[in-house]
Structure 1
Amino acid sequence: MAHTVKALFREDAYLSVAEGTVVAINERGGIILDQTCFYATSGGQPGDIGFFERQDGSKIEIAATICGETKDEIIHVPAANQQLPEIGEQLTLHIDWDRRYKLMRMHTACHLLTVVCPYPITGASVGEEESRIDFDVPDFDGDKASVTEELMRLVEANHPVFVRTISEAELAANPGLVKSKNVRPPSGTGQIRLVCIGEDGTVDSQPCGGTHVTETKEVGDIHIGKIEKKGRENRRFRIRFGPLPAA
């Protein structure tokens, strides 16, 4: 039976410490809590790592966070040779905040890239130092410098980034909100989580379950490190932190 875990990161992506109670340990030793601030791998964003602090002060190192049978079942995977907690035990959860914040900045940068390059997305991956987005665009006449300039213009404008919820019917009436060519947002709950950029979402609005910063300026210096041709129609854009290196 799948367990529904309250995902605290959906309401507050900046919550780096939280309390949780163990509700189950699965057959592989994965720890399931009643609630968690740990993001589970999904949508191209890696799951959180960190540690759980027990009441005696000892730690359980967490090597990965993944989804179970559903997106609402979040499983914390301990590192090797960790002592497992007891059912009903209360834990203090500590995510690796430096890593998470990099991923939040990167994920927000990926959304900005889809504004600069408004093409169907065929793949994406968010990383700590480099992210990539694959677009279905047969002919692209821009270059790294021009795309970087447009990205940084959006960053420096310091647009607000926020979440709002729409109904599945509203999404069906606005299919252009979905930028992925092959992947549809999870359905069945009646609600769709939109990540919006700009006042009233005027810069961008798209379904996303990931974590993001609240203002685009938090992204910091980013640049396009490489634009690669992947097949006849795909172009892969690699986003990296820091200013564009001099040619």
Structure 2
Amino acid sequence: MPATEPLFAEDSYLRDCTARVIAVEEKGVLLDRTVMYARSGGQPGDAGTLRWQGGEATVAEAIKGEEGAILHGLAPGSAAPPVGAEVQVAIDWARRHRHMRMHTTMHLLCSVLPGIYATGNQIGMDKSRLDFDLPEPPAKEWFTEKLNALVAADHPVGFTWITEAELDANPTLVRTLSVQPPKGAGRVRLVRIGPEGAPVDLQPCGGTHVRSTGEIGRVEVTKLESKGRQNRRIHFILPE
């Protein structure tokens, strides 16, 4: 299965693009390039539309195929475009941007718990959660205060690419035990929050993020939950 060029990996703010239909699979439409993020790492895949001459289809969610392919899973009742057709790909921007704000908040949560590994996560539109190997967590009010201070500081969010060998030589960059960095392409993207010389957070991640922490808006940690002897689940929302 041919790989799909992931345009979102270089620019999370692209809302649409033109692409060519490579194949139509049972699980979705394979394109040569896309702005749609495929579900992975706890972040849902993008939804949106495909439009072509004489037709339109609703994408329920983009998912991963084999060897770098991205499949655009169609909603029930949507007819697939013909193979070879040029299509206009457009994402549901409100949904995507919400996920970007949530995902960037998760990186900030990691930053306030230095040296503590994340053990699981789930990003949603209304609420999200991040699990940590943390026997005695601070109170939820402590997390809320710390996160909103980082949001108010309006730290820039950027990325750089390193080789897989460089990542292997610096294993402390990986902050998660449950989700491993996307590898296999020879390089890995590092997402950085804060200045290059003194980042607030720096870790490998293939997801989509906002350009600065101020774009997140107010964060509220709503609940801390025990999920085992040392595993603690931190629930948060973006009330605004």
Give the shorter-chain TM-score range: over 0.9
CA distances 1:79-133 after superposition (whole Å, capped 9, x unpaired): 1111111111011111100000000000000100111123111101111111100
The one-letter amino acid paired with 1:68 is: G
User: CA contact under 8 A between 2:153 and 2:213: conserved in structure 1?
Assistant: yes
Kindly tell me the number of residue pairs found equivalent between the two proteins: 238
Report whether the alignment pairs 1:212 with 2:209: yes
Q: Flag structure 2 segments of 5+ consecutive residues without an equivalent.
A: none
Q: Flag structure 1 segments of 5+ consecutive residues without an equivalent.
A: none
Alpha-carbon offset, residue 55 of structure 1 = 2.0
Report whether the alignment pairs 1:127 with 2:124: yes
CA distance in 1, matches of 2:22, 2:164: 31
The match for 2:181 is 185
Is the alpha carbon distance of 1:83 and 1:188 closer, same or farther for their aligned partners in structure 2, counting shifts above 3 Å?
Answer: closer
The one-letter amino acid paired with 2:66 is: E
Alpha-carbon offset, residue 164 of structure 1 = 0.3
Residues 196-235 of structure 1 aligned to structure 2 (within 5 Å): 196-200=192-196, 202-235=199-232
CA distance in 1, matches of 2:85, 2:61: 20
The one-letter amino acid paired with 1:54 is: W
User: CA contact under 8 A between 1:29 and 1:84: conserved in structure 2?
Assistant: no
Residues 5-24 of structure 1 aligned to structure 2 (within 5 Å): 5-24=4-23
Deviates more, 1:206-215 or 1:176-185: 176-185
Runs of 4+ with deviation above 4 angstroms:
none
CA distance in 1, matches of 2:142, 2:79: 52
TM-score (normalizing by structure 1): 0.93
User: CA contact under 8 A between 2:41 and 2:179: conserved in structure 1?
Assistant: no
The one-letter amino acid paired with 1:148 is: T
Alpha-carbon offset, residue 29 of structure 1 = 5.4
SS at match of 2:82: coil
CA distance in 2, matches of 1:13, 1:183: 21
The one-letter amino acid paired with 2:216 is: V
Which among 58, 63, 70 is matched to residue 61 of structure 1? 58
The match for 1:176 is 172
Percent identity among equivalent residues? 45
User: CA contact under 8 A between 1:23 and 1:87: conserved in structure 2?
Assistant: yes
Report whether the alignment pairs 1:46 with 2:33: no
CA distance in 2, matches of 1:145, 1:29: 43
The one-letter amino acid paired with 2:133 is: D
The match for 2:71 is 75
CA distances 1:201-232 after superposition (whole Å, capped 9, x unpaired): 61111000000001000000111011111111
Alpha-carbon offset, residue 139 of structure 1 = 1.7
CA distance in 2, matches of 1:88, 1:6: 16
CA distance in 2, matches of 1:80, 1:204: 41
User: CA contact under 8 A between 1:159 and 1:217: conserved in structure 2?
Assistant: yes
User: CA contact under 8 A between 1:8 and 1:37: conserved in structure 2?
Assistant: yes
User: CA contact under 8 A between 1:213 and 1:219: conserved in structure 2?
Assistant: yes
CA RMSD of aligned residues (A): 1.3
CA distance in 1, matches of 2:97, 2:129: 17
The match for 1:86 is 82
